[in-house]
Amino acid sequence: MNVRELIAKALSFYELALEHLENKDYMDACEKAWACIETLRKALLVKTKVSYEKAKTIVYGVPLFTRLLKKLGRQDLLEKYTFFNYKLHVMGFYEGITEPWEIEEIIRVDLKKWINEMIKLIESINVDLSTAESLLVEIEKIKRRLLMENMKLIELRSQLDTLLDKIVKT
């Protein structure tokens, strides 16, 4: 998908979220709003020449998006992204406990403003992050190796505890 298609798709998700609000279907409104947010996240990364395949993933796309917004000094957009994830995605869609009035306000006011700011950023950014993909892959490989080594460490400690238990009991 290209940037233009992603922006159009995000705006379509936003319109669907508004339709769900009109029908008082708050969980689906949250779901569509989150789809809009994630689609704009992907659009920003694709605009910076990150492949759509990497941009669409959580493991590669979210850390790169987070770091990029931080480096661009757009902490405001990053904080709202985190807020939307919590209030709309987790608490609104999955848990169903964000209050309807709050969902209305977040989607109609906060999200609308965020969408406009994200689109401005996407249209204005001129950065090539295509070389970052190989670094992301390497980071992920190391993380996986560290997790495996940590599991081995836990197992060895368990074996040591078992050995000590046997020795102490005799």
Do 114 and 138 lie in one domain? The reply is: no
Quote the domain boundaries for residue 165.
131-170
d(CA 38, CA 2): 15
Do 116 and 143 lie in one domain? The reply is: no
Do 41 and 108 lie in one domain? The reply is: yes
* Domain finish residue from 98, 113, 130: 130
- Amino acid at residue number 45: L
134 pLDDT tier (thresholds 50, 70, 90): confident
d(CA 88, CA 107): 9
d(CA 117, CA 47): 15
Do 104 and 168 lie in one domain? The reply is: no
pLDDT, one tens digit per residue, over 12-52 is 999 999 999 999 999 999 999 999 999 999 999 999 999 99
Do 17 and 56 lie in one domain? The reply is: yes
Do 135 and 73 lie in one domain? The reply is: no
Q: Under a CB-based contact definition with an 8 Å cutoff, are residues 35 and 13 in contact? A: yes
Cα distances (angstroms) measured from residue 134 to each of 22, 43, 49, 61, 124? 44, 19, 13, 13, 25
Do 124 and 149 lie in one domain? The reply is: no
Using the predicted structure, report yes or no on whether residue 96 has a pLDDT greater than 90.
Answer: yes
How many domains does the chain contain in total? 2
pLDDT score recorded for residue 135: 87
100 pLDDT tier (thresholds 50, 70, 90): very high
pLDDT score recorded for residue 125: 98
- Could you tell me the two tokens for 36? 């809009």
Question: What is the per-residue DSSP string for 135-159?
Answer: HHHHHHHHHHHHHHHHHHHHHHHHH
Do 46 and 83 lie in one domain? The reply is: yes
SS3 (DSSP) at 2: coil
Do 59 and 97 lie in one domain? The reply is: yes
Do 139 and 119 lie in one domain? The reply is: no
Do 157 and 92 lie in one domain? The reply is: no
Evaluate the CA torsion angle 117, 86, 19, 15 in order and state its sign. Answer: positive
Using the predicted structure, report yes or no on whether residue 145 has a pLDDT greater than 80.
Answer: yes
